[in-house]
Amino acid sequence: MKYFLRYLLVLLLFVPSAVKAQFEALKDSVVQLYGIVMTHDSLKGIPGVTVMVKGQNRGTITNEQGVFSIVVLKGDEVQFTHVSYRPESARIPTNLPGNQFNMVKLMSEDTVYLPVAIIKARPTREQFERDFVNNEVPTDDIEIARQNTSEAKRRILARSLPYDGGEATNYALSKNAQGYYYNGQAPPMNIFNPFAWSEFIKAWKRGDFKKKN
């Protein structure tokens, strides 16, 4: 308990001094930055320039005269960006005396090259009708779904796709049940069954017996 009280007393004596020294160091590193951003050739103020401290989410923009003001730290790098000018940057000196710094930043215009645009004459009515009729419209999702659910497509899929597990099981059970039902006797012949002939004629018209490539 005695050692704890001594340790606590030492903390009470030295912690305020350390905090005060740290605060004084931080206070000395804070800089109020004033400046103006101007064009490189005509020395006119550029409004709307973004002034950001690199690596931090802090910044401001210049006013109509190109003037700005922002709080930074000594050693910070300040970036200047504008859609019509080349980006620039400046670093605050670390050995700056005092807590204020003035800056004049010059920016040069940035040339933007747009892709080539070919202007053609307006087509005649005959050309427009010809191109409109011969233009291939890509199939959308609704048309693809309509084609996949058509009767012909479903018939092709039904003949080509194999049975799944449930269908194969039902088919095997049905065949086994039919075999058990006629166990010990000859199964009936459907050659004289009108319903079987009707199904055969329908399958023949559909082309179910045609040779597949």
Per-residue model confidence as pLDDT tens for the chain (213 residues): 555 555 555 555 544 554 444 445 455 788 999 999 999 888 999 999 999 999 888 899 999 999 999 999 988 999 999 988 999 999 998 888 888 899 999 999 988 778 888 888 778 888 888 888 888 878 888 888 888 888 888 888 777 777 778 888 888 888 888 777 777 777 766 666 777 778 778 877 877 766 655
* pLDDT for position 21: 45
* pLDDT for position 35: 94
Report yes or no on 93 lying in a domain. Answer: yes
Indicate the SS3 state at residue 81.
Answer: strand
* pLDDT for position 9: 53
Question: Are residues 9 and 77 both part of a single domain?
Answer: yes
Rg (CA), the chain: 43
Report yes or no on 30 lying in a domain. Answer: yes
Half-sphere exposure (Cβ direction) of 160: Cα atoms closer than 13 Å: 8
Question: Are residues 144 and 96 both part of a single domain?
Answer: no
Report yes or no on 14 lying in a domain. Answer: yes
Question: Are residues 27 and 75 both part of a single domain?
Answer: yes
Report yes or no on 197 lying in a domain. Answer: no
Question: Are residues 15 and 78 both part of a single domain?
Answer: yes
Question: Are residues 44 and 90 both part of a single domain?
Answer: yes
Report yes or no on 119 lying in a domain. Answer: no
* pLDDT for position 18: 46
Question: Are residues 78 and 174 both part of a single domain?
Answer: no
Report yes or no on 125 lying in a domain. Answer: no
Question: What CATH number corresponds to the domain at position 56?
Answer: 2.60.40.1120
Report yes or no on 199 lying in a domain. Answer: no
Report yes or no on 209 lying in a domain. Answer: no
* pLDDT for position 181: 75
Instruction: Look up the domain containing 173 and give its range.
Output: 136-184
Q: Any residues with CB less than 8 A from the CB of 203 and at least 6 apart, and which? A: 209
Q: Could you tell me the pTM of the whole model?
A: 0.45
158-179: pLDDT as tens digits: 777 777 788 888 888 888 887 7
Residues 209 and 213: their CA atoms lie apart, in Å, by: 12
Question: Are residues 41 and 96 both part of a single domain?
Answer: yes
Question: Are residues 27 and 70 both part of a single domain?
Answer: yes
Count of domains forming the chain: 2
* pLDDT for position 213: 53
Question: Are residues 6 and 102 both part of a single domain?
Answer: yes
Question: Are residues 51 and 143 both part of a single domain?
Answer: no
Q: Which parts of the chain fold into alpha helices (H)? A: 2-29, 125-134, 141-148, 151-160, 165-181, 194-206
Question: Are residues 6 and 98 both part of a single domain?
Answer: yes
